[in-house]
A and B are shown apart, each in its own frame.
Chain A
Amino acid sequence: AQSVTQLGSHVSVSEGALVLLRCNYSSSVPPYLFWYVQYPNQGLQLLLKYTTGATLVKGINGFEAEFKKSETSFHLTKPSAHMSDAAEYFCAVSPRPGSGNTGKLIFGQGTTLQVKP
């Protein structure tokens, strides 16, 4: 069955430092890939998604993610963390049509990003 793993439930960085949040998926056929962010007491907001084409995807708020098929990964990065980036981040996958399922999103456990001044 399709699954997604986020390494590290809690990541702490200093303001201005590189942000790296890890996501790995398990499937023989690369799925569609998503990153969502959730600020306290709010719903999830789509940061970026990968479906096909260029493997480096740019999203909102300066975030980007790179799809690496050989590593079955879709890690999220931001060159310089800002205090406002503190939030919960969710990686999600969706099997491609024809994979024999409904294509609904499967979410990882989430990673809490703390940004220290």
Chain B
Amino acid sequence: ETGVTQTPRHLVMGMTNKKSLKCEQHLGHNAMYWYKQSAKKPLELMFVYNFKEQTENNSVPSRFSPECPNSSHLFLHLHTLQPEDSALYLCASSQQLAGVNNEQFFGPGTRLTVL
């Protein structure tokens, strides 16, 4: 595997379900990100991790719970979601959080549908 991978690519869940999204980067990067992309809305940065430590949480509801066990893996645990949480969830990584090498590399995303 190369680049940034995300699983599953598609997920349908009920409002009472618990599921997890997985992201893995094979680039040796130190920073990882979760974004939400809804139809007709700009990209929303959700969480930022740098060297496994969370550095940013953009007022994301607690029904979204991130986990970063190491610099290569990032999870987004989901529970009691709402239909408005249906969106494309994108994971990204970058060599640095800031500086000349902070361009982000994105995974293909998980298309989430909440019924």
Q: Using a CB–CB distance below 8 Å, which chain A residues touch chain B?
A: 32, 34, 36, 41-46, 49, 51-52, 90, 94-95, 97, 102-105, 107-110
Contact B99 A97 (CB under 8 A): yes
Interface set, chain B 9-37, CB cutoff 8 A to A: 33
* Cβ contact of A102, chosen from B56, B90, B103, cutoff 8 A: B56
Given contacts A44-B90, A102-B55, A104-B48, contact A32 B102 (CB under 8 A): yes
Q: Does B74 sit within 8 A of A, measured CB to CB?
A: no
Nearest A residue to B99 via CB reads A97
Q: Using a CB–CB distance below 8 Å, which chain B residues touch chain A?
A: 4, 6, 33, 42-43, 45, 48, 55-56, 90, 92, 96-100, 102-109, 111
* Cβ contact of A105, chosen from B55, B100, B104, cutoff 8 A: B104
Nearest B residue to A105 via CB reads B104
Greatest chain B CB density within 10 A among A43, A46, A105, A108 is at: A43
Contact A43 B100 (CB under 8 A): no
Name 23 interchain pairs, CB-CB below 8 A, sorted by A.
A32-B102, A41-B108, A42-B108, A43-B4, A43-B90, A43-B107, A43-B108, A43-B109, A44-B90, A44-B104, A45-B106, A46-B103, A46-B104, A51-B100, A52-B100, A95-B98, A97-B98, A97-B99, A102-B48, A102-B56, A105-B102, A107-B43, A110-B42
Contact A107 B99 (CB under 8 A): no
